[in-house]
Amino acid sequence: MAWLVEHPLRDPLTSAPQTALLGEDLRLGVLLAGTRLHVGVVLAACAVPLVWLLQRRTALGFELDAVGLNADAAAANGIPVARRQALALALSGGLAAVAGGLQQAGVTWFMSNASPSYGFAGLAVALLGRLHPVGIAGAALFFGALDTAARVAERRHGIPHDVADVIKGVAVLGALVVAAWASRQRLRAAMP
């Protein structure tokens, strides 16, 4: 992608390594005037129950979960592990591509070769959401609200935006500690 952005797709009107801006007719509509909240939020909200249904209510979802939890046990039960791993990779890559397209069409309107660390943020969101589609959506909203509040606090009050990253880190660590504690309590309760 970096090569495409820097060479064939590069905007000739700027020295920055980026594509030309999307035309007004290709941009996603804004839901609330004065904000960057766009139609992509509705699409993401529709994806959450669909992913939940796939994961929790289909045989394919069961197989994907089984392969993710223990590939050897899944293989012993006749699940085609390599095919399910490839499918999981394709599905998650497809969802990430849709999210990236919505980001470009709804917020930035161009592509750059300087990509933010969305991958690390995505891992933190998945951990905080406990790998559940609804939890992940809630964690993503929490992270987005923190980022927005941090920009406003920096602009209005001079508070460094890095405070939001510290809060995110504390939230993820807190979620992991609580999960470890709950797991330990379940193990103690199960022991005779």
pLDDT at position 15, please? 84
Least confident of 45-59, 104-118, 170-184: 104-118
Q: Where are the alpha helices (DSSP H) in the chain?
A: 2-6, 40-57, 59-69, 71-76, 81-103, 118-128, 133-157, 162-190
Q: Is the pLDDT of residue 23 over 80?
A: yes
Unique residue bearing structure tokens 């300087």: 114
Confidence of residue 119 (pLDDT cuts 50, 70, 90): confident
Q: Is the pLDDT of residue 116 over 80?
A: no
Query: Contacts from 33-40 at CB under 8 Å and sequence distance 24+?
Result: 36/106, 36/107, 38/102, 38/106, 38/107, 39/106, 40/102, 40/103, 40/105, 40/106
Can you tell me the mean pLDDT for 50-55? 94
- Give CA–CA dist 136/124, Å, rounded: 9
Q: Averaging pLDDT over each range in 72-76, 158-162, 183-187, which range is the top one?
A: 72-76
Q: Is the pLDDT of residue 65 over 70?
A: yes
Can you tell me the mean pLDDT for 57-77? 96
Triad 160, 107, 156: Cα angle to 5°: 25
Confidence of residue 115 (pLDDT cuts 50, 70, 90): low
User: Average pLDDT, whole number, for the chain?
Assistant: 91
Can you tell me the mean pLDDT for 51-69? 96
More confident residue, 45 or 118: 45
